[in-house]
Structure 1
Amino acid sequence: MGLDIRVPLGAIFLIVGGIMSVYGIVTRSSSIYEKSMGINLNLWWGVAMLVFGGVMFFFGRQQKWQDDPVTPRPWERGEGPRH
């Protein structure tokens, strides 16, 4: 069993995207967006990061893990038929 890299990566993108989206909403009518032709880049990139992080986190949690390869087999543990 292990941790899929998509889970922490998705969590990081969800956190940063959430912060950027909130900042974009709070500063919606600010003059800082004049340089970007009036487009609220913080809001749009924050939403894009939220979507990407959600997808990564979702698919990372859906992964089915195989048994641990280090676990001994039943006959190695003394179980099963004896020969």
Structure 2
Amino acid sequence: MSQDQKINITTKQLASGNCQVKFFVEDETHPQYGYLLVDEPKPVGDIIQVIQQKLERRREASRAINPFFPVAPEPEDKNFYLFSA
């Protein structure tokens, strides 16, 4: 994750007992927002770390387009949604 990005989060407790996290990635060149479903309460630092890891995996998958070294596709994560702002 580059140094010019900042992640803001808001959480909402769902009736299912899960926690919905809405996050904003403030980046001058490519702002994004998304949702993460967390099944147990976690500290804010842990939630941001999970978001950063998932964002980095998405970036790595998009850069791995070398036809000589194919990378197996990452299984779709139904608990993480990312959109361009």
Between structures 1 and 2, the one with greater helix share? 1
Flag the structure with larger Rg.
1
Check whether TM > 0.5: no
Between structures 1 and 2, the one with greater strand share? 2
TM-score, scaled to structure 2: 0.33
